Structure 1
Amino acid sequence: MKHWDIYARELMSLGFGHPLWHPEPSLQFGQIRLGDVGYLRKGRFRFLFNSMHSAEHPVNATKGVPSGFEEFKPPGNPVRRDRDEITQTELHSKSLQSLSIAATASAGGTSMSASIGLRYQCSEESGALLMLKQPGHKTSLDCGMHIRRYMRAHLTNWCDFANGGHLGIGLQEKDLIFVSGFVKTSVWATAAFQNNCSSGELLVTGGCFVPSASGEFRVSMSKGTIGSVFSNTGPRGRLSTLQAGSEAPTDSDQCIFLQYYKVKSRKLRLPAVMRAAAGPHEMEYGPDDDDSCDRPVGCAGSSTSSSDEDIDSFYPNYDPIDKLLDYILQV
């Protein structure tokens, strides 16, 4: 598995949405907005167009819009804003247990240097970590029925738009997502690892995320394990400001969790259910490469069906008991 897939899978159960390995705004299209339509690839959200702005809006001017485009204008005021949705300074997978702040020593040439680090016990072969300097704020659309109906009417045109003309991306309907919510913050650090055994320690050193630490943010494995460890931080300019001793920035434009609607399929042909998508107990991740999107296989949909019942939301906190009751009621 790719590290962005490991990261998303391991933090899915936290219930905030799909974790993005690359939370930064697009250099071309800016930060993620409600009503964005696009797809996921290599830990990033790839923008196609925004459904809640007109075809003439600057954000839609570069790529254009699908044929038959109609703005999504749900009635009332369905936008919900929840400040401080995440107040913890670190979030990690169930496979990690925080141990202590550790002092580490390293040799460089003829001198020794000491640094402060955070230690985590690893109980499984993979895990993930997200560290924050500011709270995460949530914004979402509370109009699921309207989103489903809108997607049912236009999904085929969206797929034709992505694959035809000058784009030629090569997507299926099941790859397309409608952004219905997100959690954003200002500064972040991510880590993901995979080992050949279910023991060892993860050590985080340096950067502004470790108390009383200096130097570059680094993540490593210890205790003789053999595996892969990946880390990412951003935005670079803000991190430099923090390490220079300035106050933490408050611009919340970094999308650490994404919520969306997409076409889904059911392995068991149960009666259609108009409820939130299955939770992490059903989530599996398939391989990702240059020609495929990193997506939860359990929530992928059929490219030949875009009925209202087949379009569902990606909301990880879905109780399986509720799903069973839905099925019983349908029968």
Structure 2
Amino acid sequence: MLPLEYRKQGVSIGDVGAINDQGGFEYFFNILLPAHHPCNQAGGVPDGFTPLSVNLRKEEGSTSPGTHITNPEWDTCRTRLGYHEAEMGNELHAALRTGKIPAEVGYGFRFDFKSSEGAILILPEEYISEDNLNEDDFDNYAAANAISWYTHINNVLGRRLGGNSLLLVTGVDKTSAWGVASFVHAEKGTVNMSMVPNSHTQSKYWFCSVSCATARSGPSRNNLKTDEPTDEPLDQCVFVRGVRVSVSPAILKNSSRMSVKTDSLRELSTGDILSRSRFIPCQGNRARNPELPRPQENGGKRDPGRSVLPEIETTVTTDRIPLKSLPYHPLAIINEHLLDKHPTADVVLSHDNCWFSLIENGENSLPNDVELLRRVRDKYDAVLSNGAAMCKILGVFLLTWMDTNTQVPDANFLNI
């Protein structure tokens, strides 16, 4: 369970986490908060953790209620619903009069799509956008601490992350309510949906009708409960931007060794044995206590009051624990490529705005991996400046080694 303080604010700048199998953000700790802060208490912080001390500069923006983001945009038609098209009780009419339901939303919207596939994000209430402007401070801090992050998350928290998984959040878009829908292989012109406010459903806004698409809305009303009934915090993160933090396979192997104690099979039931039968390649070191009798001593009988566990102590050490599969992300492909091309680098950092710049005008889908890496090679040119090897592209720099005045212990790093 995430700390209450964290759930009140949602994903924030400075969070270190990973994208899970469901596409959500798995939070571990925040680099801007002290170790004793409630948001850093659930999973703890890495050994030697010191928060980044920086005067955080943010670029902020906001958008009015009733916004929607869709792809393809030109095939979408939005229509405001009228009074006669919505089923609204007295509560919602009162909420509309008092502004608790934005006037821009009114009785809701209907969306019609001409395309056979697409997606839409509906933001019925205001949402804010925040982006960190202290890029150098964040990059240097991540480069200096990336290895300890992976060590803590894999060894202490037992997450089994690959070395290309961590995200340091540098920007968020947050709101208090949302709706998402997607469709594929639909007959053109058959997809439509209506989203309206409602006081009796699980979320404040819901899709009252959906044709040929999958849709859901949130958050649930349980998540909206606060000390102030009218207070609906902007704690729902709909977009996250950040720095992909990767470490070399050799570094990950050395920082992710695990030692565990084992149970004697004699002390386990058949059900316990079968439930623990997943294979993990390992090496075992067994030490027998010479002062205790062997199991077959004492006339071949075992004292029922004596456990076998104190007689045999086995420690299993492994560095071949299968890693979690990584959801697709362009930066993961780019970082893996950079690690292959620069084997002396221990850490690779790449920013989301890097792959944003690789998408060409008019493209509705991501290029395949081969084309993506071709664009990386075509757009980057290596130069040397102030003791750092750099690749400059469109005002973005790739650092392969920092000057001697920068404190990064035993780690080369690449930074896009």
If the TM-score is normalised by the length of the shorter chain, which range does it land in?
Answer: 0.5 to 0.7
Q: CA deviation at 1:235?
A: 4.1
SS of the residue 1:292 aligns to: coil
Deviation at 1:146, TM superposition (A): 2.0
Q: What are the ranges of 5 or more consecutive residues in structure 1 without an aligned counterpart?
A: 1-24, 106-114, 223-227, 241-246, 266-289
When the two structures are aligned, how many residues end up with a matched partner? 254
Q: Relative to structure 2, which stretch is displaced further, 152-161 or 77-86?
A: 77-86
1:42-191 equivalences in 2 (<5 Å) = 42-74=22-54, 77-85=55-63, 89-94=67-72, 96-98=75-77, 100=79, 118-125=110-117, 127-165=118-156, 167-191=157-181
Specify the alignment match of 1:35 in structure 2. Answer: 14
- Residue identity opposite 2:42 in structure 1: T
Give me the whole-angstrom Cα distance separating, in 1, the residues matched to 2:26 and 2:245: 17
Provide, for residues 183-213 of structure 1, a one-character-per-residue CA deviation record: whole Å limited to 9, x for no partner. 111211111222x35624322225329xxxx
Q: Secondary structure at the match of 2:164?
A: helix
In the TM superposition, residue 296 of structure 1 has moved relative to its aligned partner by 0.9
Distance 1:60 1:26, change over 3 A: closer
The aligned counterpart of 2:183 is: 193
The one-letter amino acid of 2:193's match is: V
Does structure 1 retain, via aligned residues, the 8 Å contact 2:245–2:347? no
Question: By how many angstroms is 1:307 displaced?
Answer: 4.5
Instruction: Provide the rounded CA distance (Å) in 1 between the counterparts of 2:152 and 2:234.
Output: 31
SS at match of 2:381: helix
CA distance in 2, matches of 1:89, 1:193: 20
The RMSD of aligned alpha carbons is 4.0
Q: Deviations over 1:120-143 (max 9, x none)?
A: 224243x21111122221122112
Q: Name the aligned partner's letter for residue 61 of structure 1.
A: Q
Instruction: Tell me which amino acid in the other structure corresponds to 2:12.
Output: R
For 2:407, the equivalent position in structure 1 comes to none
Alpha-carbon distance between aligned partners in 2 of 1:128 and 1:182, rounded to the nearest angstrom: 20
Q: CA deviation at 1:259?
A: 0.9
Question: Which residue type is aligned with residue 155 of structure 1?
Answer: A
Which residue in the other structure is 1:310 paired with?
Answer: 348
Give the corresponding residue for 2:235. Answer: 253
Contact 1:263 1:311 in 2 (8 A): yes
Q: Report the more deviating stretch, 184-193 or 294-303.
A: 294-303
Q: What is the rounded CA distance, in whole Å, between the counterparts of 2:182 and 2:112 in structure 1? A: 13
Contact 1:187/1:238 (8 A) holds in 2: no
Letter in 1 for 2:134: C
Once the two structures are superposed, the pairs formed by residues 16-31 of structure 1 within 5 Å of their partners are: 29-30=6-7, 31=10
Deviation per CA, 1:96-149, whole angstroms, max 9, x where unpaired? 4116468999xxxxxxxxx98613224243x21111122221122112222222
Closer, same or farther: CA 193–137 of 1 in aligned 2, 3 Å: same
Residue 319 of structure 1, CA deviation = 5.7
How much has 1:233 moved relative to structure 2? 2.3
Distance in 1, Cα, partners of 2:189 & 2:136 = 47
State the secondary structure of the residue aligned to 2:6.
Answer: coil
Cα pair 2:128 2:173 within 8 Å, conserved? yes
For 2:36 and 2:380, the matched residues in 1 are separated by 42
Q: Distance in 2 between matches of 1:66 and 1:238?
A: 30
What is the 5 A alignment of 1:216-255?
A: 216-218=206-208, 220-222=210-212, 229-236=214-221, 251-255=233-237
Greater RCO structure (CA 8 Å; 6+ sep)? 1
Measured at CA, do residues 219 and 93 of structure 1 come closer, stay the same or move farther in structure 2, by a change above 3 Å? farther
Q: Do the aligned partners of residues 159 and 86 (structure 1) sit closer, same or farther apart at CA in structure 2, a change above 3 Å counting? A: farther
Q: CA contact under 8 A between 2:6 and 2:39: conserved in structure 1?
A: yes
Task: Kindly indicate whether the alpha-carbon contact (under 8 Å) linking 2:171 and 2:240 is maintained by their aligned counterparts in 1.
Answer: yes
Structure 1 residues 205, 314: CA separation in 2 closer, same or farther (over 3 Å shift)? same
Query: What are the ranges of 5 or more consecutive residues in structure 2 without an aligned counterpart?
Result: 86-106, 199-203, 248-322, 361-374, 384-390, 393-416
Residues 327 and 119 of structure 1, relative CA distance in 2, 3 Å threshold: same
TM-score (norm 2): 0.51
Structure 2 contact 331–350 (Cα < 8 Å) conserved: no
Paired with 1:122 and 1:175, the residues of 2 have a C-alpha distance of: 37
Aligned to 1:123, the other structure's residue is in SS state coil
CA contact 1:148–1:312 (8 Å) conserved in 2: no
Q: For residues 116 and 145 of structure 1, what CA distance do their matches in structure 2 show?
A: 44
Q: Is the 8 A contact 2:331 2:352 kept in 1?
A: no
Q: Check the 8 A contact 1:219/1:230 in 2, yes or no.
A: no
Q: 1:284 is matched with which residue?
A: none
The verdict on how the C-alpha distance between 1:216 and 1:318 changes in structure 2, with shifts beyond 3 A counting, is closer
**Aligned counterparts of 2:52 and 2:191: Cα–Cα separation in 1:** 45
Whole-angstrom CA distance in 2 between matches of 1:118 and 1:294: 32
Give the structure 2 partner of residue 225 of structure 1: none
Distance change in 2, residues 1:252/1:208 (3 Å): same
Structure number with greater Rg is: 2
Q: Which residue of 2 aligns with 1:296?
A: 329
Matches of 1:231 and 1:40, distance apart in 2: 20
